Amino acid sequence: MVWNIKSGGSRESNAIPNLAPLAKNALMEGAQAKTMMPPATEQGFTWAFARRRFEEACTASHLPVVIYQTRYETETLVQLASSFPVVGVKEGSKDPLTFERNLRALRDLKKNIAVWSTHSKWLLADLAIGADGILSGMGSVAADLHVALAKAVDRSDLKAARKISDRIFPLVEAFYRPGQDAHIRMKYALKKLGRQKHDFVRPPLRPLDADDRSRIDQALIQSGLL
């Protein structure tokens, strides 16, 4: 079990993150690792602030760390991976060039740090570059397709990988198009597939309209999931 920890943050530049209680809870609940979620403010991505966050969490519990990478500079990411017990990186920089730069920099550390793509819009590309696997919210709907895609790339079967990617693409189009939160769309898909009973949302989030539901229904059919 991997436990996600994050703080609400503060806009004060000298604010000390309060992650210790969350890190201790993760340890007490039997987690095997903890994910350090992205900080709440822009200044949280500086090396000085990031180091303080990680020091607090890692002092509170000895659990290995997975970094959820979004906007850390490559140098900061490498410093964090070098200074703390980092075993994996959920790579979500949202740019293929940055992804590859970070991947190469982490590989150069020779620490056997896993790098997982969370770029659901171009998973095949990240895997082809060298990602170790996929860690994406869309996995709640399409985990089997993600596994099959990763295995096809691992055995260098490009033809099979493209076929699987063709099945994933309609889901990407339906979930990540503008206008609604992707996870609300995924909740609807999970209900449609019978994997959960309800797809309620809390304000200020809005339920899906008929057009969104229809698009998701069609995507589930095109992907072979429905």
Domain boundary among 136, 171, 195: 136
- State how many domains the chain has: 2
Whole-Å CA distances, 113 to 45, 150, 179: 20, 17, 36
Do residues 123 and 134 touch, judged by C-beta distance below 8 A?
yes
Residue 151 has pLDDT above 80, yes or no: yes
Is residue 151 in a domain? no
pLDDT score for 106: 98
| Judgement on whether residues 179 and 108 belong to the same structural domain of the protein | no
* pTM beyond 0.85: yes
CATH of the domain at 123: 3.20.20.70
Residue 20 has pLDDT above 50, yes or no: yes
pLDDT score for 194: 97
Residue 222 CB: number of other CB atoms within 10 A? Answer: 16
Cα-Cα-Cα-Cα dihedral of 82, 87, 93, 94, to 10°? 160
Amino acid occupying residue 101: R
Q: Which domain holds residue 106?
A: 2-136
- Average pLDDT, stretch 167-195? 97
| Judgement on whether residues 178 and 86 belong to the same structural domain of the protein | no
- The closest of 87, 16, 92, 86 to 50, measured between CA atoms, is 16
Q: How far apart are the first and last CA of the chain?
A: 29
Residue 63 has pLDDT above 80, yes or no: yes
| Judgement on whether residues 27 and 125 belong to the same structural domain of the protein | yes
Is residue 144 in a domain? no
pLDDT score for 134: 98
| Judgement on whether residues 22 and 96 belong to the same structural domain of the protein | yes
| Judgement on whether residues 45 and 79 belong to the same structural domain of the protein | yes
| Judgement on whether residues 126 and 164 belong to the same structural domain of the protein | no
| More confidently predicted of 162 and 27 | 162
pLDDT score for 214: 98
Do residues 13 and 43 touch, judged by C-beta distance below 8 A?
yes
